[in-house]
Amino acid sequence: MSRHDSLKKVSIIVSKGSFEGVYPGLIMAHGARMEGMEANLFFTFFGLHAIVKKKMNKLKVATVGNPALCVPTPMGMPMPTLLGALPGMSTLATAMMKKEMERLDIPPVGEFIEMIHDAGAGIYACKATVDMFKLKREDFCPQVDKVLTVGEFYQLSAEAQIIFT
């Protein structure tokens, strides 16, 4: 059997807290484990919302400051920023995206984190942000392995490709 060489280890940084800011990193971490690669996820700044229990399943699509957002379908007309600012628009856009993702069997954030962790990926929180947001251990979902400093993150990422999202 011919095999193409692939990466052996990835460290994926999730720095954004919007729905569309969090999912790419999760999908990449999951995909890495499916390929048998070592994978670690590091959540920093607003990306931390993805591992905070009371926030993780309430992430929203950004409907303001997102010129690629279109209505009524993802390839339809660009949505004017003023419309995106109306109450409920973010909720509506998120609901539509969730429906499509469910169809592709992409789980909600909480379940996805659990699945990725069960698949053997490490889940880490950034210490600077944890201190800044005044978060405690009990605020996080149980899959969080550790709160790391940047230095520890680099040590953990030895030999890995680092991907920033």
- Interacting residues with other proteins (CB under 8 A): 1-3, 27, 30-31, 33-36, 104-107, 111, 115, 118-120
Shortest Å, Cβ 101 to other proteins: 9
Q: Which is nearer to other proteins, 77 or 104 (CB)?
A: 104
| Phi then psi dihedrals of residue 48, to 5 deg | -60, -25
Shortest Å, Cβ 27 to other proteins: 6
Q: Which is nearer to other proteins, 36 or 88 (CB)?
A: 36
Buried b (16+ CB within 10 A) or exposed e, 72-97: eeeeeeebeeeebeeeebbeebbeeb
Shortest Å, Cβ 7 to other proteins: 13
Contact, 14 vs 153, CB < 8 A? no
Residue 120: partners with Cβ closer than 8 Å, 6 or more residues away: 33, 39
Q: Which is nearer to other proteins, 48 or 116 (CB)?
A: 116
Shortest Å, Cβ 163 to other proteins: 15
